Structure formats: structure tokens, C-alpha cells
Amino acid sequence: MDHEDEEIEIPNYFICPISLDIMKDPVIAVSGITYDRESIDKWLEKVSSCPVTKQPLPSDSDLTPNHTLRRLIQHWCVENATLGVVRIPTPRVPPGKPNVVEEIKNLKKFGDEDEEIEIPNYFICPISLDIMKDPVIAVSGITYDRESIDKWLEKVSSCPVTKQPLPSDSDLTPNHTLRRLIQHWCVENATLGVVRIPTPRVPPGKPNVVEEIKNLKKFGDEALGREDTLKKLELLAIDGETNRRLMHEGGVHRSLILFIVKCTREEEEEGQRRIKEQLDESLRLLHLIGVPLNDARTILMENDRILGSMSLVLNQQNFLNKAYTIVLLRNLTENTSSHIVERLNEDILKGIIGFLEEVVSSFNRTSPNVSDTAQSSNPRVRNKVHSKLDYNLVIKQAVTAALMILLETSSWSRNKHILIDLGAVSQLIELEISSTGDKRATELVLGVLSRLCCCTNGRAEILAHGGGLAIVTKRLLGVSIAADDRAFSILSTVSKLSPEKAVVEEMVCVGTVEKLCTVLRVDCGLSLKEKAKEILRDHFDELKKFPCIDVRLLTKLLSSSHEDLLAELLKP
């Protein structure tokens, strides 16, 4: 090259990863990486693995000529000829390695190799570096060939060019204009052997969302009752965010809720198998599309039968349906009238606590209820549903939703007593003992317990459960500031208002006293230290009776100021 003073920017994808020079004969290894033929041949004489991916690569591996990239390099060389860039020649087939199939394909597609065809850059897919047959625009604004971007998104959830997040169910909009330009270019170059790309058909099995919504509006429950309607809507909901938005605009969620009400009434009366399947499908679909915030505020106020239907589902056997229903209930009650939340009927609260009990029992096994339910209906879309609905995530969402509902409803005295009578205290303690470390769930459990222990029966339940004070003590200083505040609230209330002898004995046995002393000795909030001192002072006389308690140390901790304790802590 001439003109050494003038820098030439060489595109990165023209560079061989081995020689770090422009590729003269680019070939694709079976690992999917493109190298210069001479460099990869020499490499494979010594090493039997891919230089980039490290996967096995025998010396006799197929090396497929990357004609598209080679032509792009040649075109770039011609454009930069004035800067002294020399055009790379068209490589000949390596001696002794003719590939008749490849040569016939190239002859049909590109004509005589001596007569080069200039392919416009914007016809090339950024992933495959080949002419696009079905160009589609991703939400990032970049156009790709549909087959290439579909395969990419199965493994990577970001745009290959912009690197911005790109979920696997992102909408891919057909680029009809570019496809027509490519087809026109193919026709113009037909004499050189270029074959016109066909017009792609609509992918099979993907019904039109607008058409389905029209049918739903026209036929209502009759449409949802047809065997294939719910399946079609589920496929559409899985297919992308745009479809789910259109369903919201078309009121599909409202139709589904009313259909669920109808199904629960008919199932109770007739117990038909088909009605049960429709209920399963409706709840799953409603979970997929959700309920828009504006509608969620008013739906329960408009129809008082909805809560009754939810109550029936929550007290049936289907574990996943309970999970879907609890998430839906939280969605509908989150921003609605407080009067509705206050007056949730006892059967709904019983169903929620029963669900938490099932969750606890499934923590130490591979939740058979979940897998059985997942396989129970809709086999035609089962695999696709699994790709969209992570059932472990559904259960986690339902547990959080259940705890938030219990936290809100326990604000009222009537509900506190109902929850305690239904065994909520014991189930919440068991849930926290079985916890897998979800910080938010711990905060919510402690929040509900702190409200329930305001009642005499609630405090008695916490003390009666062998792990009650123990798990509350364990969570101190180990989760979050909010968890610490709620744990101290429980300990303060239980220690003040319960029979002293019993509560002090329990606090000593499970390590609560030791943990409170630790709070006084570590660097934490002043308010926590004051709460710890208050509990220890209140029971100092009783604590002195236990031989395991270091009275001198306890006296020192209680009499020392915060500054003194901090200074002692900072001593070398």
C-alpha cells in the first residue's frame, strides 16, 4: 500500500483473528468463525481446536468459503484503490479439494466468477453476512434476515449491532420495502445467474390478533368457548408485546375475567371436564397478558361476582391456577378502594394461606403439583408456553402477591383475628424457615407477623411455634433495615405483652439475648441499639436467673453509652 501517512480504517470483520491481517480467502470453520484459509490451515497443522471458541476442530474439518465476505472485502479494496489498496484476487479452489456441489451452487447463484456482482451493503444481513431472504426490523431499528435473528435470539437477548436488550419474544416487523428492492435487484441481475428471492409467507400457526379480537367482540363468551380460540390467543400473547398491547386495547382481559366467572359457576354446577380446561387456559392467558392499571382500579367495583369466582379457584386443587389467581387478585386490589381490601371474604384468605402451605411443602422437592398442572392441558402450545412462562417465577410472583395481600388486609382488627384463626402465623413462620433467601419475601413475612402479634392469640402462636422467635432472631442484622425494624417490632411486642417467664426462657434458648447483645456491640443504627437495650432492661431481673447469662457483661452493655461502645469497638 502507498500513502503511508494517510491512515485507512479497515473494518474489523475483514481481519483474520489469527494473522490480524485482511483476509484474502475467508473461510468459515465448523465453529462458525471466519478465518483466512492459509492462516487456519497452518493453525490446524499444530492445534486441533478453534482459536476463538476453543471447541474441537480436527485438521480435516470442512472450511466453507465465505463468498459474501470475500466480495465485500474486494469491493472495499476497489473503493480504496486511490489510497494504494490492492484488490485481493478471487481465490481458486484448493488443489485436490474440489467441491462439485459448492461450485454448481455458486455457478447458479452468481454466474461466472470472473464477472463480479456488486451486492449493495444494505442487502446483507449483519449476522449471516448473506443476502436477506426475509428482512425484518427489530425494535432496535436494525434490519436482519428473519431466520438469522430468530436463531440469534434463542441464545442471546440483545441486538447484535446495538447491544441493547432484545427479548426473544420481541416484535420483528417485516421490511417489505427492502425485500422488494432485493427482489428487483435479483431480477435485474438474473442474466448473471442471480435467483430471485421468493416472497415469504406469514409464519404458520400465527393467527391475526386483530381478527381474533374482532371475533371476541362479536361473539363474546361463545367465541371463548370454542376449542381453538383460547389456544390462538395464547399463541398471540406469547408472540410479542405488541399483541399483548392490542389485546389490552381490545378489552380481551375484561372478556377473560367475565369468562372465568362463567366457568367457575358452570364447573361448580356441572363439573364438566371441558369447562375445567377452559378455566385453566383462561387463567394462564390472563396471567400472560395482565390487566392494565386503569382497568384494574375499577373491575372489582363493577362486578361483585369476581371475588366469589376467585374464592372458588383458590379453594380448588389446581396449584398453578391458585398462583395465577393470587397474582391477579393483587393486581386488582393494589389500587382499588380500601373498603374492598378490608372486606375480602374469609374463603379468599383461607385459600391464600392454603397456597402458602403448599409452597412450603414443595420447597424441598421438585414441586410435582406444578409440573403436573403444567402438563394437564393445551398440549399444542405447551412447549411455547414454557418458553414464555417460567413456572418457578410464577410461583415466586404469587408468593410475593399473597404476602402483600396479607400485609394489607392485616391492617384491620377483624382480619387479624381471621388470619390467626386460619393458622396464618404458623404458615408464615414455616415459609420463612423454608425461605431460599428472598429479601422481599422476608420483609413481607416479618411485616405481617408484626401486625398479627398485636393480638394476644398472635403472640401466643409465635411463642408456641418452636421456630417463631428463633427465625425472627436469625433475620436480625442479616437482611435489610426494613427487616430489622419489623423483627424488633415483633420481639418488643412479644417480650412486653407475653408471660415473662415463658418469653425470657424462649429468648435465652433460641439465642435472642445473645443477638441483642451483639446489636449493642456492632456498628449499627442507634435506634436498633436503643430497642435492644429496652428489651434487655425490661427482663434484666429474670435474665440474671439463667447461669448461661454473663451478668457482668450484660450490665456493662446496658450501662455504657453508644459512644463508649463504639470507641471500644474501634480499639485495635
Residue 228 is predicted with a pLDDT of 77
Q: Are 472 and 490 in contact (CB under 8 A)?
A: yes
Q: Is residue 465 within 8 Å of residue 453, measured between CB atoms? A: no
Q: What pLDDT shows up at residue 212?
A: 76
- List the grid coordinates of 15: 481481519
Q: How far is CA 158 from the centre of its chain?
A: 15
What's the pLDDT score for residue 319?
A: 92
Tell me how many helices (H) and strands (E) the chain has.
Answer: 32, 6
Percent of the residues in the chain that have a pLDDT greater than 90, as a whole number: 29
What pLDDT does 268 receive?
55
Helices 439-452 and 456-464, packing angle to 10 deg: 130
**C-alpha span between 265 and 237 (Å, rounded):** 26
With a cut of 70, list the residues of the chain below it in pLDDT: 1-6, 92-116, 168-169, 201-208, 218-227, 267-273, 364-389, 562-572
Identify the pLDDT of residue 381.
38
For 537, the 3-state DSSP assignment is helix
Q: Taken in order 357, 361, 366, 367, is the CA torsion positive or negative?
A: negative
Strand spans (E) along 261-340: none
Residue 254 near residue 332 (C-beta atoms within 8 A): no
What residue ranges in 105-258 does DSSP mark as E strands? Answer: 135-137, 143-145, 173-174
* Bridge partner residues of 15 (DSSP): 22
pLDDT at 371: 39
C-alpha cell at 57: 476442530
Nearest 5°: CA angle at 424, between 423 and 430? Answer: 95
| HEC per residue, 152-176 | HHHHCCECCCCCCECCCCCCCEECH
Q: How do residues 206-260 score in pLDDT, each as one tens digit?
A: 456 777 777 777 666 666 666 677 888 888 888 777 788 888 888 888 888 988 8
- Residue 272: Cβ within 10 Å count: 12
The burial class, CB within 10 Å (0-12 / 13-18 / 19+), for 10 is middle
Query: How far apart are alpha carbons 411 and 196 in whole angstroms?
Result: 70
Mean pLDDT of all residues in the chain?
81
Residues 6 or more apart whose CB falls under 8 angstroms from that of 393 comprise none
Largest CA distance in the chain: 104
Strands 143-145 and 64-65: unpaired
Coil, strand, or helix at residue 518? helix
Asked whether 510 and 491 are in contact (CB, 8 A), the reply is no
Distance between CA atoms of 411 and 451, rounded to whole angstroms?
7
Q: Which residues contact 62 (CB under 8 A, 6 or more apart)?
A: 30
Return d(Cα 395, Cα 361) in angstroms, integer.
13
Residue type for 73, please?
I
The DSSP-derived string for 389-435 is --HHHHHHHHHHHHHHHHHHHTTSHHHHHHHHHTTHHHHHHHHHHT-
Q: Which three cell numbers stand for residue 258?
A: 367475565
Q: Please name the amino acid found at residue 210.
A: V
Q: Name the 3-class secondary structure at 410.
A: coil
Strand boundaries in 22-151, DSSP class E: 26-28, 34-36, 64-65, 135-137, 143-145
C-alpha to C-alpha distance for 505 and 79, rounded to whole angstroms = 88
User: Hey, what's the cell of 411?
Assistant: 391492617
Report d(CA 61, CA 31) in Å as an integer.
10
What is the pLDDT, as a whole number, of residue 382? 39
Q: Quickly list H helices, 510-561.
A: 512-521, 526-538, 540-543, 551-559
**Of 508, 418, 416, which Cα lies nearest the Cα of 453?**
416
> pTM value?
0.63
Q: Angle 408-413-415 (CA atoms, 0-180°, nearest 5)?
A: 55
* Cell numbers that stand for 126 in this block: 449483519
What is the per-residue pLDDT across 422-440, written as a single tens digit (0 to 9) for each? 999 999 999 999 887 889 9
- CA angle, 290 as apex, 396 and 378 as ends, to 5°? 80
